[in-house]
Amino acid sequence: MTTGFTLWFTGLSGAGKSTISEIVERELRALGRKVEVLDGDVVRTHLSKGLGFSKEDRDTNIRRIGWVCEVLSRNDVIAIAAAISPYRAVRDEVRERHGGRFIEIFIDVPLEVAIERDVKGLYKKALAGEIKGFTGVDDPYEPPLDPELIIHTDQETPQASAARILTALRQLGYL
């Protein structure tokens, strides 16, 4: 039996996906597990360079991340995807391809909080009309309907969120 699986972190820009995924990665490595993180920003630089932000390009980006996670997880690696992945249908498609070894974690935060945390200044530009098609501003984010876990990052620390994820993984029988 394979010991790999995919943790799929989804949520708005600034929700805390990267921060929490890094903590979870460290904790899983400390348990002796093989782990790889596919962060949306890093993937766009390497795996998805040249893709834009149209719905078609975003879906292609998520399918690529999903495929890499699928390959890693079937080779006994815990794949962590930390990507906005705004469209429910393509997330569900990626889930389906994983054959049940897929844990969707909705990193939920009110838009106002994400805007406050905007270290890259992207929301400011989007709200000023300088960036078109920005998720949560003038392009939709479709929250998961039935994720395995919802994390409200405006209500707890990243460390507490990571601890809840690890507890859930134990309860679900992944650890």
Q: What is the CATH number of the domain that holds 96?
A: 3.40.50.300
For CA atoms 23, 170, 17, 7, give the dihedral sign: positive
pLDDT at 9: 98
Answer whether residue 153 shows pLDDT above 90. Answer: yes
pLDDT at 107: 98
pLDDT tens digits, one per residue of 90-133: 999 999 999 889 999 999 999 999 999 998 898 999 899 898 88
pLDDT at 2: 67
Range of the structural domain that residue 74 is part of: 5-171
39 close to 21: Cβ distance less than 8 angstroms: yes
pLDDT tens digits, one per residue of 19-65: 999 999 999 999 999 999 999 878 777 776 777 777 888 888 899 99
C-alpha to C-alpha distance for 4 and 174, rounded to whole angstroms: 9
From residue 68, give the alpha-carbon distance in Å to each of 34, 36, 73, 116, 163: 15, 10, 9, 32, 26
Number of domains in the chain: 1
Tokens of 108: 């939920």
User: What positions carry a catalytic annotation?
Assistant: 85
Complete DSSP assignment for 18-55: HHHHHHHHHHHHHTT--EEEEEHHHHHHHTTTT--SSH
61 close to 10: Cβ distance less than 8 angstroms: no
Nearest to 66 by CA among 53, 49, 48, 54: 48
Q: What pTM, to 2 d.p., does this model score? A: 0.93
